[in-house]
Structure 1
């Protein structure tokens, strides 16, 4: 029996504690940069498994290292933060927590993106590997990252000398729970998650009375023209073979129907899959906004502010092939190909900074019957809540078991006593 099967046959021995930890974490979510309780519980658990732990990296980040003889160093990462949403799942362990956000407002908080699943799975995988060190060799680094939702958690840990605090990884691995059949895993090489940029643009006009528009420069009309013009960047400037999404999600101007304001503020979000496309569209946005302002006679140049930025996630081909081979061996027909995702993540900031090969995969979190009943003509209907929905709640099992199995199988593709890659993979 291969090492992966030998270790994972003991999953039932950790299942009750893992499920209890998950439910407690789901019931006690914390916003980005506020993951103090979560980090303390994670560090306590990892220390009890025999890991050398360090807390407070980048504010609330946790690292845990287990040395087990000579061999590769594998980094496994999970994110910990929750979202400002009111949970409506009806679960008996649903969150009723509120917290003060960065703006000082009291908001509801829930784990609506599955980070509680990620934490519980990494704890479970770490415990199993720690309890069966005779089946592998090398060094395991478990990284629990804060503030993924704000896109600056990985950068914060890097700024706090993360890569100097841990053994240099030979590979970095991460996963995310997604709408899909629970018990299944999927990955792909190349671009897998889009980059994302959020811009706040302020355009300036000249205010006045609504009855005398000739004496004004109306920023509302100006902003409307910009919204329409920006859509042409995707439909007329971007090749159809290059996926890209540009959304103006917020537009604010004025206080009263008969007052023409002196400025309008819009917020837009851009998602792309190559650095070249990303930069070209950002340049086009700036050009289009400036041109519309000039056409309207705006009294001064528009203001541009980037307030959220997520990197592109591009799975290393050789690393992904090695993990895919391990998944195929262990999961069989429950391992598949992951579709290109328009979601974004900041995990890749860490391996890109350290020049570390990496791969990132998805696990299903939806009850199989529910998911299959909701698929019509290749589309998943609203019966399956997606991440960031107040109804998002991965089915408890086999989601936790599958996420744990995936991490163990992927790690042992490097740490197993026979470190040669699977037959259909290439060593990284």
Structure 2
């Protein structure tokens, strides 16, 4: 496989200028979930330029390119395309100044704050290199560009729109995510890699009154505060110490004016788990606490619960991960490491699960290596290195793009090399 990878990657330096220009363009023109029209058009055009059969509009803005190259396995490589409602603060000369309208109709700034522009650029680069070196591999390469990962429903939308009947069934599905680790490093990880995630919206009911007459109210601000405090005991006192879980209250909304006691409050929570039984335990505990505190406050009715933006567990196949890790070690040597399990979440696994095939998903570093090393030496990585979803998140172009592109090629050739 080494000779095949060397052959395919021998021309990688010739696409660097094109790839960096493409990345800067994507970064400067981000698009929100389900609105990736410009990005999808660019992707489809690039794939057609390199002889891929292109399927557009799957699940809305999803794009899939298929390159058949004789008999052999079928490998699907996946990248996500959407950006976030964040005002960019990187100071880059290609920083986004884009504005858009989110699903609720609000005007919001837009930024590629999670690195999906890196993912698209790397997969298009890998597709171009593989198309130019078809004598070095055999089989079918499927390049899938997914919308709306940030909403948690993009992969499901493609599946529901007939993905599995519209493209060849892969033998394996492969993907990667740029993370706030040293650029050029790669992290294959067997088993659970990215956590499950769920968002929960709780509406707590009180009784409104004038701020000067609190005795006539059932104050939802006090009720919400008691729920938030009580929620902190779930992980600390109910989840077994050997298990992992996160319960975060990200939003509290109550009232409109200082002298008005409202009649309801809204809490929005996010939970992260690796184990389904722990997930169910936490969801049950959240509901129990909200109901009990409502009863203690004399609420006029039970709280309302809505679970949304749910993400599946990314549970990497042991066999597929071992195969990719071996190929990575052979090609990249000491740049292969293990970031460990990540508490971020992805809907990537929805696609291989729909096909019923194994998958593996790895991390790619995107932080300037010198800056990361210095932060490690100071013990200030979490403070000094902007992570995904930060307005300052800005992967360095190189070696991030080079490593991410080569990783997709090397991983695909673990199956497609003759």
TM-score normalized by the length of structure 2: 0.97
Deviation at 1:255, TM superposition (A): 2.3
Q: Please name the residue that 1:170 is paired with.
A: 171
For 1:10-409, list aligned pairs within 5 A: 10-376=11-377, 380-409=381-410
**Secondary structure of 1:198's match?**
strand
Deviation at 1:377, TM superposition (A): 6.4
Deviation at 1:355, TM superposition (A): 1.5
What whole-Å deviation, never above 9, does each CA across 1:50-74 have from its counterpart, x for those lacking one? 1000111100000000111111110
Q: Please name the residue that 1:426 is paired with.
A: none
Quick one: distance in 2 between partners of 1:382 and 1:147? Answer: 29
Structure 1: segments with no counterpart, 5+ residues = 418-428
Quick one: distance in 2 between partners of 1:104 and 1:249? Answer: 21
Quick one: distance in 2 between partners of 1:293 and 1:100? Answer: 36
What whole-Å deviation, never above 9, does each CA across 1:205-231 have from its counterpart, x for those lacking one? 112233433332221111111111111
**Secondary structure of 1:337's match?**
coil
Deviation at 1:106, TM superposition (A): 2.0
**Secondary structure of 1:85's match?**
coil
**Secondary structure of 2:383's match?**
coil
Quick one: distance in 1 between partners of 2:370 and 2:37? Answer: 37
Deviation at 1:241, TM superposition (A): 1.0
What whole-Å deviation, never above 9, does each CA across 1:394-428 have from its counterpart, x for those lacking one? 111111000011000100010110xxxxxxxxxxx
Quick one: distance in 2 between partners of 1:91 and 1:209? Answer: 49
Structure 2: segments with no counterpart, 5+ residues = none
Quick one: distance in 1 between partners of 2:286 and 2:192? Answer: 23
Deviation at 1:376, TM superposition (A): 4.4
Deviation at 1:257, TM superposition (A): 2.8
Quick one: distance in 2 between partners of 1:244 and 1:164? Answer: 37
Quick one: distance in 2 between partners of 1:21 and 1:192? Answer: 29
> 86-95 or 393-402, which moves further after superposition?
86-95
Contact 1:375 1:381 in 2 (8 A): no
What whole-Å deviation, never above 9, does each CA across 1:341-361 have from its counterpart, x for those lacking one? 111111111112221101110
Quick one: distance in 1 between partners of 2:240 and 2:377? Answer: 29
What whole-Å deviation, never above 9, does each CA across 1:66-85 have from its counterpart, x for those lacking one? 11111111000000011111
Deviation at 1:378, TM superposition (A): 5.3
RMSD: 1.3
**Secondary structure of 1:164's match?**
helix
Residues 1:227 and 1:160: Cα distance change in structure 2 (over 3 Å)? same
Quick one: distance in 2 between partners of 1:53 and 1:66? Answer: 9
Deviation at 1:288, TM superposition (A): 1.4
Instruction: Give the total of aligned pairs.
Output: 417
Deviation at 1:373, TM superposition (A): 0.8
Deviation at 1:339, TM superposition (A): 1.5
What whole-Å deviation, never above 9, does each CA across 1:269-317 have from its counterpart, x for those lacking one? 1011111111111111111111111122211111111231111111111
Contact 1:30 1:109 in 2 (8 A): yes
Deviation at 1:39, TM superposition (A): 0.3
**Secondary structure of 1:192's match?**
strand
Quick one: distance in 2 between partners of 1:315 and 1:378? Answer: 30
Residues 1:251 and 1:376: Cα distance change in structure 2 (over 3 Å)? farther
Contact 1:114 1:177 in 2 (8 A): yes
Quick one: distance in 2 between partners of 1:416 and 1:51? Answer: 19
Residues 1:214 and 1:88: Cα distance change in structure 2 (over 3 Å)? closer
TM-score normalized by the length of structure 1: 0.95
Deviation at 1:258, TM superposition (A): 3.1
**Secondary structure of 1:375's match?**
helix
What whole-Å deviation, never above 9, does each CA across 1:148-172 have from its counterpart, x for those lacking one? 1111110111110111111001100
Quick one: distance in 1 between partners of 2:231 and 2:350? Answer: 29
**Secondary structure of 1:338's match?**
coil
Give the 4+ runs in structure 1 shifted more than 6 A. none
